[in-house]
Amino acid sequence: MTGLALRSLRHRATAFTATFLAVLLGTALIGSFATLIQTATGPVSSTDGETLMVLGAVVGGWGTLIVLFSVASTLAITVRQREVEIGLLRTIGATPRQARRLIRLEALVVAILAALGGSLVAAVGGRALLAMLRNGGLVADDVAYGGGVAALAAAAAGVVLTSVLAASIAGRRATGGPATVALAQGASESGRMRWWRVLAALVLIGYGLAMGVVTITVSADSADPYDAMATSGSSSILVGVGLALLAPLLLRWLSVLARPILGRSGPTGHLAAYNTSRRSHLLSGVLAPVIVLTASSIGTLTLVGIDGRTLAGGVSTPETHTINVLNNVVVGMLSLFAAIMVINSFAAVVSHRRAELNRLWLLGATPGQVRGSVLAEAWVVAGVGVLVGAAAALATIVPFGVARHEGVVPDGQLWLPPLLAAGVVLLTLLSARSAVRRVAPAAPAGQPALR
């Protein structure tokens, strides 16, 4: 089985690039912040220790949630990509258990290699991060980098463990049905969601909303103006990740609303309308990061704006400075990661559908129509993602606005959310375009192309 896994990996190196990238970046990110925590436990003053701890734990914590989520969803796409092959293996006598073991082994090998690479990046990134904090005056100049193997290993282990867990779940799903090659048509893909996924989503959304309520009812009246930020700041991310977990459902429901519009935009729109709703589980891998990206960027940047306006009278203390840096780091980091995930998952989804897109060409679609149908799908994903993400952002904006007496609608920078939304839509469309450009039509050699 191990030999088979290694050979399969070498043969399909491109298919695992998405997973590799997600694990590498994820480890680099989590690892960098983990080194801050390790540095905090070293010989530093208690204030510096606290700053480092908060940065590492808060920012690193949110990062971890999103990274683990992304790694898991990328792995799910990669495993799906191989359902045909898994079906074939089973028809020639592999038991479901053997097939799952193969999937887990492959994930393990890819994740370990990527996590090793990610740790190296984190060793450099952690130093750069600390240097940035020193230059920004957030910690004393004499704070020395104390990160080491412990922090990096913990980060790497966490990501690898998540990968293997995600592969087990995806594998269970892939081998759930009867052994058949009929999967070659991508026919028996069911979009059912597991109960624990729905539960996790509801918990996250509920927690985010509860924090909003706490912000309005309790921390709004607190003497420290930052209490309101502490309670509401992460709500948009919480609700965003929660909604992202429900992405398959949301896409199925909301893309039905888009059907009348798509129906009028020719054959490509017609195809996109049905593909997005009937195979929502495929494109939900792209939708999820779009939601998180929209929610976290709009939510946090609007919060920074409200904070700037309502505290404008107050002097810029080291504390406000730290908090500003912290917020910007969160947004920058999450946006970068989510953006890469959008590109990554679109590439994975399109390469998964290569045979099917080729089929469209065989049936008489021009290459332009094939590309057009994927772009139309990208429009739907972008539209739904921005809509849902913006709604999630309200979980931060409204409570914080009320707490800082700006009311439900912020007093300024109302151009910011539409601008960010436009950026997200553009990113999604460009990802789709670059992914689909690599799909060239090929005449059938009797069988659908399986490369």
Partner 1 sequence: MNTSTQAPFALEVSGLTRTYGEGVGAVHALAGVDLAFPSGTFTAVMGPSGSGKSTFLTCAAGLERPTGGAVVIDGQEITRWSEDDRTRFRRERIGFVFQGFHLMPYLTAEQNVGLPLRLAGHRPDRARVRSLLERVGLSDRAGHLPGTLSGGQQQRVAIARALVTGPAVILADEPTGSLDSRTAHDVLRLLRSLDDRTVVMVTHDPVAAAYADSVVFLVDGRVAGRMDAPTADAVAGQMAHLDDLVAVEAAS
Ligand X SMILES: Nc1ncnc2c1ncn2[C@@H]1O[C@H](COP(=O)(O)OP(=O)(O)O)[C@@H](O)[C@H]1O
> Given the complex with partner 1, which of 83 and 106 has the nearer CB atom?
83
Check residue 368 for interaction with partner 1 (CB under 8 A).
yes
**How crowded is the C-beta side of 124, counted as CA atoms within 13 Å?**
4
Distance CA 262, CA 430 (A): 19
- 399-423 burial by CB neighbour count: b if 16+ within 10 A, else e? bbbbbbebeeebeeeeebbeebbeb
Q: What is the x/- site pattern for partner 1, positions 181-200, by CB under 8 A?
A: -x-xxxxxx-----------
Q: Which is nearer to ligand X, 312 or 443 (CB)?
A: 443
Name residues whose C-beta falls within 8 Å of residue 407's C-beta, 6 or more positions apart in sequence. Answer: 401
Residue 369 near partner 1 by CB under 8 A? yes
- Is position 278 an interface residue for partner 1 (rule: CB under 8 A)? yes
Q: Which is nearer to ligand X, 314 or 446 (CB)?
A: 446
Sole binder of Mg ion in the list 313, 314, 446, 447 (CB under 5 A): 446
**How many residues can be counted in the chain?**
451
What residue 188 binds from partner 1, ligand X, Mg ion, none (CB within 5 to 8 A, per partner kind)?
partner 1
The interface mask with partner 1, positions 210-249, x = CB under 8 A, is ----------------------------------------
The two structure tokens encoding residue 271: 């195809």
Q: CA of 267: how far to CAs of 236, 259, 270, 355, 364, in Å? A: 37, 12, 5, 19, 12
Residue 347: both structure tokens together? 């590439």
- DSSP strands (E only) in 330-407: none
Decide if residue 363 touches ligand X (CB under 6 A): no
Write down the residue that tokens 């530093």 correspond to.
44
Under the binding rule (CB under 8 A), the answer on residue 73 touching partner 1 is no
Binds 187, which of ligand X, Mg ion, partner 1, none (CB < 5 to 8 A, cut-off by type)?
A: partner 1
129, 38 Cβ separation under 8 angstroms:
no
Interaction pattern, residues 427-446, with ligand X; x per rule: CB under 6 A: ------------------xx
Report the residue number, 368 or 446, with the smaller CB distance to ligand X.
Answer: 446
User: Which residue's CB is nearer to partner 1, number 160 or number 271?
Assistant: 271
Distance of alpha carbon 151 from the chain centroid: 23
Q: Which stretches of the chain bind partner 1, using CB under 8 A? A: 182, 184-189, 266-267, 270-271, 274-275, 278-279, 356, 359-369, 443-448
Q: Which stretches of the chain bind ligand X, using CB under 6 A? A: 445-446
